[in-house]
């Protein structure tokens, strides 16, 4: 099984539908889970937190809601894909040969001990999910063009992946690919 994280910034152009089409064409149903980034919805959470100065726990929950909104957008574009919020539901949908869009469950993430910090974004959550699902590969699709020769630490330093990503994948057994939207 493969986990494909589609960056939220892909929704700012036609890249999002092209990526969803590519997943649909290149991966067999029942073998892929799509993780949405928070995109413009998460950016609004960042702005609101800066303005109102509320705590990181509140911002974390709002950012998860941003991912859930993106999941609904993806589902609106690909109505035959299935939305799943928990690990159990993901397995159920995969067993029914569905292409799955993850709409993360806040309670499941809290119970897993996922910290409430902007250092952890949908990149790290996709890595967490890939580990929990025993995925063979994690593909992060970004709108930013990145140098394939850069290490994960260098990519984190350039904010191509989040600051916690390296910790989330440190002991992973899955292959990691970070690609530009035009390369998927």
Number of domains in the chain: 1
Model confidence at 182, pLDDT cuts 50, 70, 90, reads confident
Give residue 7's domain range.
Answer: 2-183
Average pLDDT, the chain: 95
pLDDT > 70: what percent of the chain?
99
What is the C-alpha separation between 40 and 54, in angstroms, rounded?
Answer: 19
Please name which of 131, 111, 130, 109 lies closest in space to residue 120, comparing C-alpha atoms.
Answer: 109
Q: What is the pLDDT of residues 150-180, one digit of tens each?
A: 899 999 999 999 999 999 999 999 999 999 8
Neighbours of 155 (CB within 10 A): 21
Give the chain's length.
Answer: 184
CATH number of the domain that residue 108 is part of: 3.40.1160.10
- pLDDT of 145 above 80: no
Q: Note the pLDDT tens digit of each residue in 78-95.
A: 999 999 999 999 999 999
Question: How distant is the alpha carbon of residue 128 from its chain centre?
Answer: 10
């Amino acid at each position: 099984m493969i986990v494909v994280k589609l960056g939220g910034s892909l929704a700012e152009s036609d890249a999002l539908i092209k990526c969803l089409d590519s997943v649909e064409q290149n991966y067999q149903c029942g073998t892929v889970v799509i993780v949405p980034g928070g995109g413009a919805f998460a950016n609004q959470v960042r702005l609101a937190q800066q303005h109102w100065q509320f705590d990181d726990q509140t911002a974390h929950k709002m950012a998860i809601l941003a991912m859930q909104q993106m999941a609904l957008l993806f589902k609106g574009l690909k109505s035959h894909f299935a939305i799943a919020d928990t690990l159990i539901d993901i397995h159920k949908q995969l067993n029914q040969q569905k292409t799955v869009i993850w709409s993360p469950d806040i309670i499941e993430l809290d119970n897993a001990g996922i910290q409430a910090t902007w250092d952890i974004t949908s990149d790290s959550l996709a890595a967490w999910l890939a580990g929990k699902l025993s995925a063979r590969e994690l593909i992060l699709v970004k709108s930013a063009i990145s140098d394939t020769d850069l290490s994960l630490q260098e990519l984190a330093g350039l904010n191509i992946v989040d600051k916690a990503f390296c910790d989330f994948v440190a002991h992973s057994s899955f292959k990691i690919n970070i690609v530009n939207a035009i390369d998927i």
